[in-house]
Amino acid sequence: MQKFPITPEGYKKMQDELDRLLKVERPRNIQDIAEARAHGDLSENAEYSAAKERQSFIEGRIMDLKTKIATAQVIDTSKVNQSKAAFGAKVKVLDTESDNEYLFMLVSTEEADAKSGKISISSPVGRALIGKEVGDVVSIKVPARTIEYEILEISF
């Protein structure tokens, strides 16, 4: 199985979710199924159907998380060349056209969350930033235009 990089924060988040599913969600769901069963006729029991559907989701997510945790490779950013943008780096950039500044954190696809500024290293922006240094200008073609970002700062 192929390993994928992950930040220590992302790894802990996955472990916490798995722990919550195993210790809280799964037992609660088992109790919900038992209560719904006690209500009688299962063929017309919406509570039972919903609880069984939730059980399926929980079990699928548990399996997914166990696989991801087993194949995750936690990257210690203190051992990365910190003068260049790399996995786990926070990269502050300036959009040269609009003069807007953005802060991106370069993470794995598993951790990517555009709303919080976490972008995948395999995204167009992530690929353009990897290996670059402060002062470099990168061009990224997007459907509407070509974006140029000047790298202002790199931190880990």
pLDDT tens digit string along 98-111? 999 999 999 998 89
Who contacts 12 (Cβ-Cβ below 8 Å, separation ≥6)?
Answer: none
Nearest of 120, 102, 124, 101 to residue 111 by alpha carbon: 120
For the chain, domain boundaries: 4-74, 77-155
**What topology is assigned to 4-74 in CATH?**
Helix Hairpins (1.10.287)
Identify the segments of the chain with pLDDT beneath 70.
none
pLDDT at 87: 92
- The two tokens of residue 128 are 């353009």
Domain 77-155 has CATH 2.60.40.10: no
pLDDT at 16: 98
Who contacts 113 (Cβ-Cβ below 8 Å, separation ≥6)?
Answer: none
Nearest of 110, 73, 77, 109 to residue 91 by alpha carbon: 77
Nearest of 153, 150, 8 to residue 79 by alpha carbon: 8
